């Protein structure tokens, strides 16, 4: 763990952000659009960014003997830490639904998205978009948080709506597979989610470094 990530964890983050990781357990809620848990997790990250901005965190960080790109890296790493811890919790809950609870009536009669690898892929896509839209957008100015977060909210709920609707289309029922049905397709979709998350985060990180270099704090 590098020094800037330690600074984010010890000085810049709020306890609320860590508590909001628990929204990953919404994976177990039947009859509910479970991808909404990802929105609450990103809301928790937003709260830490907002608190840090009010404390002039970027100015403090820029005065440290580190490069400006390291300041950006610390913010991205913190966001990724929360996201990946959340994905780990969602994965555990998904495995529980795919094994022990796969025949439970509240889940088998649920018309909404099922917990499976495609669900995890969609969650990773939302987190990747959050990094690109919000975290990357923050470094365009170094202080504006509202606009990129509102855009993130709109995009997130569009993705959630699309993900909830897809399995209702003819021929796409396998996206909502129960247990280990269509596991090959499901794992391929999960791999796509991992790649999209990594690509969106990496590209937005590089752009954020370039943007932040131009800002005169």
Q: Which residue blocks in the chain are alpha helix, DSSP H?
A: 3-7, 15-19, 36-54, 57-63, 68-98, 105-108, 117-130, 136-141, 146-166, 183-214
Task: Give the pLDDT mean for 51-62.
Answer: 86
Return the H-helix or E-strand segment holding 151.
helix 146-166
Q: Is residue 68 in a domain?
A: yes
* pLDDT tens-place string over residues 34-51: 999 999 999 999 999 999
- Using CA atoms, how far apart are residues 157 and 110, in angstroms rounded to an integer? 20
Report yes or no: 75 and 163 within 8 Å, Cβ to Cβ.
no
Cβ-in-10-Å burial (0-12, 13-18, 19+) of 91 comes to middle
Task: Give the pLDDT mean for 165-194.
Answer: 93
pTM of the model: 0.95
Q: Is residue 125 in a domain?
A: yes
CB atoms < 10 A from the CB of 103, how many?
A: 9
Q: Is residue 217 in a domain?
A: no
Q: Which two tokens stand for residue 91?
A: 């994965």
Residue 203's pLDDT band (cuts 50, 70, 90): very high
Residues 6+ apart with CB under 8 A from 93: 24, 25, 27, 28, 115
Residue range of the domain that includes 90: 3-212
Q: Is residue 22 in a domain?
A: yes
> CA nearest 133: which of 35, 26, 39, 5?
39
Cβ-in-10-Å burial (0-12, 13-18, 19+) of 139 comes to buried
Q: What's the total number of domains in the chain?
A: 1
SS3 215: coil
């Amino acid at each position: 763990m590098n020094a800037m990530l330690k600074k984010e964890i010890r000085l810049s983050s709020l306890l609320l952000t860590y508590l909001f990781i628990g929204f990953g357990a919404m994976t177990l809620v039947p009859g509910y659009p479970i991808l909404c848990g990802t929105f609450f997790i990103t809301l928790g990250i937003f709260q830490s960014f907002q608190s840090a901005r009010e404390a002039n965190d970027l100015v403090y960080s820029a005065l440290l003997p580190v490069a400006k790109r390291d300041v950006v890296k610390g913010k991205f790493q913190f966001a990724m830490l929360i996201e990946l811890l959340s994905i780990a919790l969602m994965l555990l809950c998904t495995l529980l639904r795919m094994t022990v609870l796969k025949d439970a009536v509240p889940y088998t009669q649920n018309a909404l998205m099922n917990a499976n690898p495609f669900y995890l892929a969609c969650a990773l896509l939302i987190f990747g978009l959050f990094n690109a839209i919000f975290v990357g957008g923050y470094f365009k100015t170094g202080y504006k948080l509202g606009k990129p977060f509102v855009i993130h909210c709109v995009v997130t709920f569009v993705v959630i709506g699309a993900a909830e609707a897809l399995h209702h289309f003819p021929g796409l029922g396998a996206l909502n597979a129960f247990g280990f049905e269509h596991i090959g397709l499901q794992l391929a979709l999960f791999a796509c989610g991992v790649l999209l998350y990594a690509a969106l985060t990496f590209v937005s990180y590089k752009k954020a470094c370039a943007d932040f270099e131009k800002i005169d704090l």
